[in-house]
Amino acid sequence: MLFKLFIQKIVKIKILLMAALVLLIPYSYTAWGQPKSATKRLCANPIMRVYSEGDSYLPIGSLLCEGDRIHPINNGGKVDVLCFLNQKFVQLPSGSITSDKCQEPTANTEKKCTFQTLINCPKTRGDGENKNTPIVLSPYGNVLLDRRPIFSWYPVPGATSYKVYLTAYNLDWQAATSNTRLPYPQGQQELQYGIAYKFSVLVLQGEEVVGSASSVIYVPPENQVQDILEKVKKVNALALPADEAAYLDLDTVYMSKGLLNETIENMNARIANGSQNPTLYRVLGDRYLQAWLPQEAKRAYTKAIELAQSSGNISEMVIAQDRLAKLIESYSQLPTRINAAQ
């Protein structure tokens, strides 16, 4: 009888131990080599994303924050990542993630054109001081991938028509329109790789030219364009959430070459698709600012604040409010003559 009771106690202990092991398995996997799909990592302020297999714990597509670690499967191996700070794809060995592994591009001494600095700005978009000077809206920025871009500008009060010119050593065409948007004419030769073009829009009242603005646009050499397109393909292959890919990875790839037109158009496509993501609107505001379009930036920041408030995203709301406050402080009187387009 005692022997039987002893056996029953052993069986109960085994059952309890097995139950405990079942409960501990997820935690032991996390500590000692978890399956790559076992946990969802949280990273509030990502500085890079994993773009290759080869890490013991991190699946491809994982976001990395300061203090995270790389654990290559192979001894001495490396993991491909996209750095959001310096806008480059790099390979990292085993070790802790720190921001200096993706040093920000501002570390160099070259000063760039931004709305706040007004330094090294290579183009004229229309300053808004003369009521007859058109403010160029698109193409955004100087460097493009699109070889048949859309030309657009804000309406000028009293204008009866506009005339658009595009000139370079190998091309010279003009087109008249009563609209403030002109798709690239199908009958004209597309923009060529590695050539700079001067785009001008003239404001007419009847037959009289009363104002004008111009911009320089440029398509990089073909090998550089193909390199960018390969990186875009690499991002798209991850099948990331569309909004996140637009304002984070694709924006990083495009901005590595100053492609304001592509990243702004891409984020606007997400908005047209119904995006209600406050971060996307906030980053779009940043890019409009770099494109020298403060009114568009103001609208984007304002929408970002509204969406962040409604969704309870306090951290994003604070960032967008700070951006908007700095914009208003830098340029206290935004152009009033374009209010009708708001």
pLDDT tens column, 167-177:
998 889 999 99
Q: What is the pLDDT of residue 215?
A: 87
Does residue 109 have a pLDDT over 50? no
Q: Decide if pLDDT at 243 tops 80.
A: yes
Per-residue pLDDT tens digits for 220-233 = 999 999 999 999 99
Does residue 155 sit in helix, strand or coil? coil
Buried b (16+ CB within 10 A) or exposed e, 15-31: eeeeeeeeeeeeeeeee
Which of 14-28, 54-68, 99-113, 149-163 is the least confident region? Answer: 14-28
DSSP 177-218: ESSSEEEPPTTSPPPPTT-EEEEEEEEEETTEEEEEEEEEEE
The pTM is what? 0.79
Three-class SS state of 153: strand
Instruction: Dump pLDDT digits (tens) for 125-178.
Output: 555 457 888 999 999 988 999 999 999 999 999 999 999 999 998 889 999 999
Neighbours of 129 (CB within 10 A): 7
Domain 222-341 has CATH 3.30.360.10: no
Element (H, E) at 70: strand 69-70
pLDDT tens digit sequence for 183-218: 999 989 999 999 999 999 999 999 999 999 988 999
Average pLDDT value for residue range 96-103: 77
CB 168 within 8 A of CB 217: no
Note the CATH number of domain 136-218.
Answer: 2.60.40.10
Do 55 and 83 form a contact (C-beta atoms < 8 A)?
A: no
Dihedral sign computed on CA atoms, order 289, 114, 192, 200: positive
Separation of first and last alpha carbons in the chain = 90
Assess whether the previous peptide bond of 134 is cis (omega < 30° from 0).
Answer: no
Which residue intervals of the chain bear CATH 2.60.40.10?
Answer: 136-218
How many angstroms separate the CA atoms of 264 and 217, rounded?
A: 16
Under a CB-based contact definition with an 8 Å cutoff, are residues 89 and 80 in contact? yes
pLDDT for 176: 95
The total of other beta-carbon atoms located within 10 Å of residue 307's CB is 21
pLDDT band for position 327 (cuts 50, 70, 90)? confident
User: For residue 284, what pLDDT is reported?
Assistant: 97
Residue intervals in the chain for CATH 1.25.40.10: 222-341
- In three-state secondary structure terms, 33 is coil
